[in-house]
Amino acid sequence: MRRRASLVLLSLAVFFCALSPLLRWYAFPRLAKIPPSQYQETVLEAKDAVLLDYGTLQAKRVQKVTIVQTLKGNVEESERIERDAGRDVVVWDSLTHVQGPDGKMVSQIPERYIFDAHSQTPVHAAGESVDGDPVRRDGIEFKWPFLTEKRDYRYFDAQTRTSAPIHYRGTQDFRGLDVYYFEQTIPWTKVRYPKKMPIPGIDASTLERQTGTTRWYTTKRMFWVDPVTGAPVNGEEIHREELRGGTLLGGRDRVTAFSGHVKMRPDYVESIVDQVTSQRRLVLMLTSYLPWSFLLLGGGLLFLSLALEARGRSCAGGRSPS
């Protein structure tokens, strides 16, 4: 009877010890994925900012500039791309809508970001774009991978249409979460005009060619990222734009189009932290809690099995004739 119980315990020990790495290395990559239908809205604000009045072409200090950023999963497109890619793909249609203190539109920039549902690496397919222009990303955007590492990543900048390193700057406490702080600086770079701008009588897509006035941009980008889910729980930018040269400025060398410290609105930060706190428990279940629990349980069952077998042998030896 003891021998049978020992074999049962040994079988269970082998089962749980084998299940531990399977959860971490097989189940986790297949279960931890961004849903293709995800929808997210984030509101950011730049208070006491400088904004160009496109009616007078004079830069003015304003109380607040608001940026509304939406991410909407395109299920139909993700299913189409998956048939050729042979893996789970997410397609995010993003819109960055900038409005002045009067609520009027300053600019709109749509994007389509196509990426692997688990690793967040870009998937190149027809439709990948920024403001209607085809692009080919070679870095992440919006989100870091699950189990983010303490290292630099390449991050895509929609204004310049290029990717550059975003640097890991250390671990910080943010509202009770241990997060990784990343920072990227884009130097002054000539960039395209948004195709939707409040410029009466001028087609923004041909503005530079018609007037010779160019648009320049620089930013310091900061993210606080939950390393378990890879989701940013806070983001800020110290952002500047200028118009330079040409006939549009009436002889002036340059004029500030926008200058401000863009911060996520506090109520959205609170909502994102709550959401990430819930999601990180699910990821930790697959990567830490269950694998380690099963490994310890398997080790305990193995010890009990060996102890029971040893006790059985000892009792059998004690009954042997001398």
Render each residue's pLDDT in the chain as its tens digit; 322 residues: 556 777 777 777 788 888 888 888 888 888 899 999 999 999 999 999 999 998 888 999 999 999 999 999 999 999 999 988 889 999 999 999 999 999 999 999 999 999 999 999 999 999 999 999 999 999 999 999 999 999 999 999 999 999 999 999 999 999 999 999 999 999 999 999 998 888 766 677 778 888 899 999 999 999 999 999 999 999 999 999 999 999 988 889 999 999 999 999 999 999 999 999 989 999 999 999 888 888 888 888 777 877 776 776 666 555 545 4
Q: What per-residue confidence (pLDDT) applies to 85?
A: 86
Question: With the C-alpha atoms ordered 129, 133, 137, 142, is the resulting torsion angle positive or negative?
Answer: negative
Q: What per-residue confidence (pLDDT) applies to 98?
A: 95
Parallel/antiparallel/unpaired status of strands 39-53 and 232-244: unpaired
Q: What per-residue confidence (pLDDT) applies to 322?
A: 45
Please say whether the beta carbons of 95 and 110 come within 8 A.
Answer: yes
* Coil vs helix vs strand at 160: coil
Q: What per-residue confidence (pLDDT) applies to 316?
A: 59
Parallel/antiparallel/unpaired status of strands 89-99 and 105-116: antiparallel
Q: What per-residue confidence (pLDDT) applies to 317?
A: 59
Q: What per-residue confidence (pLDDT) applies to 6?
A: 73
Please say whether the beta carbons of 106 and 92 come within 8 A.
Answer: no
Q: What per-residue confidence (pLDDT) applies to 3?
A: 62
Q: What per-residue confidence (pLDDT) applies to 314?
A: 67
Rounded distance between C-alpha atoms, residue 218 and residue 10, angstroms: 63
DSSP code string of 208-244: HHHH--EEEEEEEEEEEE-TTT--EEEEEEEEEEEEE
DSSP one-letter code for 206: G
Rounded distance between C-alpha atoms, residue 302 and residue 309, angstroms: 10
Q: Residue 300 contacts by C-beta under 8 Å, 6 or more apart in sequence?
A: 13
Please say whether the beta carbons of 88 and 117 come within 8 A.
Answer: yes
Question: With the C-alpha atoms ordered 203, 209, 210, 213, is the resulting torsion angle positive or negative?
Answer: positive
Q: Where along the chain do its domains lie? A: 32-264
Burial call 230-256: b when 16+ CB within 10 Å, e when fewer: bbbbbbbbbbbbbbbeeebbeeeeebb
Give the closest residue to 41 by CA, choosing from 14, 66, 61, 68. 68
Rounded distance between C-alpha atoms, residue 183 and residue 211, angstroms: 35
